[in-house]
Structure 1
Amino acid sequence: MSYSPYIYVAIPLSVAIALGLARKWRSRKWGKCMSNICLRGKTYLITGANSGIGLETARALVKRKARVILACRDLEKARQTAAEIRKEELGGELIPMQLDLASFESIEKFVELVKTGFYKIDCLINNAGVVAPLSLDQKTKEGFEIHLGVNHLGHFYLTNLLLDLLKKAAPSRIVVVSSMLHEKGTLDFDDLNMRKQIEDAKKGKSSRRNPGYDNSKLMNVYFARALAGKLRGDGIDVYACCPGFCYTNLFRSFVKWYHYILMAPIALVYMRSAKQGAETVVFCATDYSVEGHTGKFYRECAEYAPSYNYNKEEESRLWEMSEQMVKARRPL
């Protein structure tokens, strides 16, 4: 039986159209920040602003005339990002600065420079994050497990050092970028640095998931909730949010070339662009409707009630241990 040569074009084309329509239908449910308020005179600080969601958040804020500090580990990449945004957006102000969240010394030097150059910070967006295979046993400069040290402790220390500038800008905001994966997290307070799981991973016993990343996202939520309680009455609102399942370079350590082929159909339907992922972050950072709703979790530009059973005792213990680790500058 012979087939028309057109069928070899028609079938792939039909599949592509079907996937495109499925993506369009699904994207209708994705949140979109509708606020276009002018942010002239306001200063926003974004960690990890040189790529992905951080870059798109910076672009959206500059479009609204804000002054944006691009706090990035690689200063040259931060400068390149500023130049890239400038090709499209001429308003606002872009200020590249060097910040390595894997080093307490770098955090302290960064804060010192910020306090020298800026009287107030209107919004701090804790966006930067890392994902690394546990088998690599990566650590911060002080010896903390990389997910604990960067995704949680780095932002914990940075935020606390900047609180006086945030108070001067009240009403101001802190946005903590977390993930729905926080609901998969579990905290072992006897082993927050995950030594046992890392040793298992080195022996090839690791699971498909990355518990280090999941746990750090749970720490993000606990941090936001605890901080909101401590700052109640100070004019600083704190929000945690999930940007959704986005196509960024965050998981580059896990993606092989063949994954792009195998996962292409799923990615086309389910994965958002970085710009789409930034919508909820921008919403939490700018929209007036969330003012006063401190301590809440947001997804799809709306308040979200996670199914996770938050434990107040765990929340308090994490804060206390985080303070101890920062003070000791070493793992407990």
Structure 2
Amino acid sequence: MISMNGKTAIVTGGNSGIGFEAAKAFAGRGFRVLLAVRRIGKGHDAVARIQENHPDARVDVQELDIADLSSIRAFAEHVSTRYEKLDLLVNNAGVMTPPLSQTADGFELQFGSNHLGHFALTGMLLPLLKNTPDSRVVTISSLAHRNASIDFDNLDGADGYRPMQFYGQSKLANLLFAKELDRRLKAHGLETISIACHPGISATNLFKIGQKDAPEFLKKLAGKLLQTPEMGALPTIYAATAPNLTGGEYIGPDGKGQRKGYPTLERPDPAALDEKTAERLWNVSEEMTGVVYDFS
């Protein structure tokens, strides 16, 4: 990764896992990085860890609960008043396979956090992004999008809920959103591009049993068999900085089954390429969040 001095990046959930590793890499190459985190204390801990490696890094922290539209709005207002430009937005924060539960606005937690929250955030920050030359939006998906579908008649889980099925749905939504966003940006002649990526199977703190941490032996086993967070962050870093990308790409590991390895271009599941579903998801997302994108 070449020097990125003078550029500004926001990483949601940047205090841990692949978000932290990506933020650390960005800070080390000159980005001014804003960690958008739910718990401010953990955000400050992350800043200290980054500055241990990069003492001159410019890293800030701001509260953001991606499962709460009022928090997203407050965060976007803060950024819009404090920052003159935004070169990179990394939609990284997320939850995985919790029991059926709701966001502050009553959405099913996984769809509401992983997709709707980032849909709203990106829309609110679009004025900054589109006024910054060569800006990028990177949205983190997952191998779990394979064989998933969007059940528009049961987005809230009221007619049945299976945690992994709804996680896959939210990750497919991430991909559909990333590609539809890029189509719309290009249709309006904007320089901002949108790219999707996934970390393979990474040993991060997303892996929990219910709402509890996995047992220590399972964490150690995962550390040996799965991608490290450092390796899992490489597709994010590549999607954010590689100069050959033009928007609409999907980046993931190059190893067997795309579970481990170094970043490469991938082709997602055919469901992620369905433009009619993407357009329907976009319209539903606008209705649910009240956020309408201004591409003018």
Task: Tell me, yes or no, whether TM beats 0.5.
Answer: yes
Q: How many Å separate the matches in 1 of 2:116 and 2:218?
A: 36
Q: Any idea what SS the aligned residue of 2:236 has?
A: helix
**Pair 1:113-2:107 in alignment:** no
Report the residue type matching 2:236 in the other structure.
Answer: V
In the alignment, residue 252 of structure 2 is paired with which amino acid? Answer: R
Pick closer, same or farther for the CA change 1:102–1:258 going to 2, 3 Å.
Answer: closer
The Cα RMSD (Å) is: 1.9
Aligned AA (2:121): L
Question: Do 1:170 and 1:234's aligned partners in 2 also have CA atoms closer than 8 Å?
Answer: no
Give CA deviations for 1:12-68 in whole Å, capped at 9, x if unaligned: xxxxxxxxxxxxxxxxxxxxxxx2x11110000000001001110110001101100
Mapping of 1:188-267 within 5 angstroms?
188-198=151-161, 206=162, 210-232=164-186, 233-254=189-210, 261=217, 267=223
CA 1:239–1:305: 2 relative to 1, 3 Å: same
Contact 1:50 1:77 in 2 (8 A): yes
User: Which runs of 4 or more aligned residues in structure 1 lie more than 2 Å from their structure 2 counterparts after TM superposition?
Assistant: 253-267, 306-310
- Measured after TM superposition, the shift of residue 264 of structure 1 is 5.2
The partner residue of 1:299 within 239, 252, 263 is: 252
Q: CA deviation at 1:91?
A: 3.0
Distance 1:257 1:240 in 2: 28
Pick closer, same or farther for the CA change 1:325–1:61 going to 2, 3 Å.
same
User: How far is 1:194 from its partner?
Assistant: 1.9
SS in 1 for 2:270: coil
In structure 2, the CA distance between the partners of 1:168 and 1:137, relative to structure 1 (3 Å rule), is: same
Q: Deviations over 1:264-290 (max 9, x none)?
A: 556513x01111100110011111121
Structure 1, gaps ≥5 residues long:
1-34, 199-205
1:66 partnered with 2:66: no
Aligned to 2:242: 287
Give the unaligned 5+ runs of structure 2.
Answer: 254-262, 292-296
Tell me if the contact between 1:45 and 1:71 (Cα under 8 Å) persists in the aligned partners: yes
- What is residue 137 of structure 1 aligned with on the other side? 100
Contact 1:248 1:274 in 2 (8 A): yes
What's 2:121 paired with? 158
Counterparts of 1:257 and 1:115 in 2: how far apart (Å)?
Answer: 36
Partner in structure 2 of residue 178 of structure 1? 141
CA 1:186–1:88 in 2, change beyond 3 Å: closer, same or farther? same
Q: CA deviation at 1:307?
A: 3.7
TM-score by length of structure 2 reads 0.89
Taking structure 1 as the reference length, the TM-score comes to 0.80
Higher relative contact order (CA 8 A, sep 6+): 1
The Cα of 1:92 is off from its aligned counterpart by 3.0
| 1:278 counterpart = 2:233 | yes
CA distance in 2: counterparts of 1:78 and 1:123, whole angstroms: 19
CA contact (8 A) 2:203 2:219 kept: no
Distance 2:91 2:218 in 1: 32
Residue aligning to 1:148: 111
CA distance in 1 between counterparts of 2:235 and 2:214 reads 31
The verdict on how the C-alpha distance between 1:191 and 1:50 changes in structure 2, with shifts beyond 3 A counting, is same
Question: What does 1:317-332 align with in structure 2 at a 5 Å threshold?
Answer: 317-327=280-290
> What is the one-letter code of the residue matched to 1:247?
A
Look at both structures and tell me which one has the larger radius of gyration over its CA atoms. Answer: 1
Give SS of 2:290's match. helix
Matched letter for residue 179 of structure 1: S
Q: Which residue of 1 aligns with 2:270?
A: 308
Residue 257 (structure 1) shift: 8.0
Letter in 2 for 1:302: T
Percent of paired sites with the same residue: 36
The amino acid of 1:308's aligned partner reads: P
